[in-house]
Amino acid sequence: MSATAIEALARDLRAAQRVLVITGAGMSADSGLPTYRGVGGLYDAGPTPEGVAIEDALSGEMLRRDPALCWKYLTEIERATRGRAPNVGHQALVKMAAHFKRFTVLTQNVDGFHRRAGQPDLIEIHGNVHGLHCTVCDYQTLVENYEYLSLPPACPQCSALVRPRVVLFGEALPSPELQRLETVLREGSDVVLSIGTTSVFPYIAWPVRNAARAGLPTAEINPGDSEVSQLVKYRIRAGAAQTLASLLDLLDRPA
């Protein structure tokens, strides 16, 4: 971990009023969750036993065509969260928010850990695996785990298919979350942090690229390389939890 980079980032943060934090699967790695596209991740094992890519199994088209197959792999994602909890990195981000006029966390994670930690200004751009809703009627519920669900689950009100409130491959991002993100981007941010993400989606990389072009402070906390690694002002090759705990400690110290 680069102590110098963290100290310099803390100085830039102290001068900021509006901060945007972007998190990916690496944010939850210290909670014991897989990084999906990282070593040993869910998307690293090649085709599923059914002979389809995991991205196809977890697609909107597969949910319509073969709900049982799609739900099989949705359950794998949910199962990884069982018995897990937000880590010190999630908690550090919650406490950091008090230092700023606006502190927004944009997460790709569907584990719900930022919400459980109490993050006050949170955009779950890919949804939350614990929220379920009917594909036909207005039924919705919150499920801590899928262990007791009949798969694929049927709506208790109309018997139609129930699905998690997550964005599957090939589906559009949710309009309310997109509108909130557009508002944040329109207002602008003084510092943009990218944490634990490969930044392969344009809407995840763009805020960092835009801030870097404008000469604003940007940082990446990630052991591996990403699409924005060469753009950021501060490149911190370390895990999220301990780095954020150290950063919070610096912010909490008297100036």
Contact 234, 219 (CB under 8 A): yes
On the question of a cis peptide bond just before residue 152, with omega within 30 degrees of 0, the verdict is yes
Please spell the DSSP secondary structure of 52-114, one letter per residue. Answer: S-HHHHTBHHHHHH-HHHHHHHHHHHHHHHTT----HHHHHHHHHGGGSSEEEEEE---S-HH
DSSP tally for the chain: helices H, then strands E: 9, 9
Query: In sequence order, which ranges of 165-239 are alpha helices (DSSP H)?
Result: 175-187, 202-213
Collapsing DSSP to helix, strand or coil, 213 comes out as helix
Instruction: Give the Cα separation of 121 and 119 in Å (integer).
Output: 6
Instruction: Give the Cα separation of 130 and 166 in Å (integer).
Output: 9
Active site residues: 126
User: Which element (helix H / strand E) includes 28?
Assistant: none
Contact 155, 162 (CB under 8 A): yes
